[in-house]
Structure 1
């Protein structure tokens, strides 16, 4: 019987948090996925943490291709994504807001995937990624609503799939996932957000600039969660975090990060000084 993302399947006990996350990950409609994710967090918050049925040791298997996504936007290789137009034009501003919305839609999927895919982690791991999923759903909703005020909607522009492609690569190892999604790809947002915000404000789109403020504030916390669980896993496996990150980045062909880096935000998100020094050294090569 299919799971009801509003609650329990008819006649059955409430599905575990991990089962709910998998069910929502399979939802195709972007708006419904965001809304269902927010309902899941609200339901969890209404209960004491110990009362939440997480299903930590459950063996789960996806019965559908992941992630669920709408027919549009068309997914194309990154080099085929149209070059950004001037954001001082309505079309250029729509294209930028759409690109940001696509990132946040993928971020919902990534957080949901972390919840359902990786069994055997501490309870706090699942609650942390539930918080991330909820906040990414809020970000997507804010951007999609703002895009509508500009006369466009999510799906109107082509987009690329690089974020989910890294999720696929790291599906077999939670350590690699923590290293290369929140600490690498999502951390790039810490660097990119201030200049994007400045451009939007300069173009007179103060509503979009305010949304970027919300996103940057929350993304510091999301990257901090990735840092925490990456270090927790390194400690559990007896691994050096800096050397292990370098090895994982090479093995999984993670994109090389380019300056300028938002060092204040990265420090706030928990990057250690030796990690920032390694990042700076790699950027200089």
Structure 2
């Protein structure tokens, strides 16, 4: 049996050094993916986790422990939020315009991102 490799992932707390994460521990991978703030790094981390699971390296969950977040770190899955705009202040866009189509795609992307985060939370917890 091959020893698990370590892969550097972004830390939960900005300004911290990268932490090595055991590739065989899906809980740690998902915890770090949930703690990332930038959407691009969240996507990269999720793709890396998917690749590990497909290769059979990240499918095992270590039942001996639960990973913890560094004190003062962001809550997993809770990135900084942009200011909310009241629904009446959002301009109405037709789906037949480029702006309206872009708004629809943006909305669907939010739904998909939330679904991915829910799956990652379930992996981390269970």
Q: TM-score range by the shorter chain?
A: 0.5 to 0.7
Tell me the secondary structure at the aligned position of residue 59 of structure 1.
coil
**Which protein is richer in strand relative to its size?**
2
- Whether contact under 8 Å (2:31, 2:76) holds in the other structure is no
The corresponding residue for 1:26 is: 35
**What is the CA–CA distance in structure 1 between the aligned matches of 2:22 and 2:110, rounded to whole Å?**
34
**Which protein is richer in helix relative to its size?**
1
The corresponding residue for 1:113 is: 121
Which aligned pairs between 1:1-285 and structure 2 lie closer than 5 A? 4-5=8-9, 9=20, 13-14=22-23, 16-47=25-56, 52-63=59-70, 64-69=74-79, 71=80, 74=82, 76=84, 79=87, 82=90, 84-118=92-126
In structure 1, list runs of 5 or more residues that go unmatched. 119-285
TM-score normalised by L of structure 2: 0.66
- Whether contact under 8 Å (1:17, 1:54) holds in the other structure is yes
Task: Show structure 1 runs of 4+ deviating over 3 A.
Answer: 12-15, 60-63, 77-81
Tell me the secondary structure at the aligned position of residue 8 of structure 2.
coil
**Higher relative contact order, chain-length normalized (CA < 8 Å, sep 6+):** 2
Aligned residue pair count: 109
Tell me the secondary structure at the aligned position of residue 4 of structure 1.
strand
Q: Shift of the alpha carbon at 1:32?
A: 1.9
**RMSD (Å), alpha carbons:** 3.2
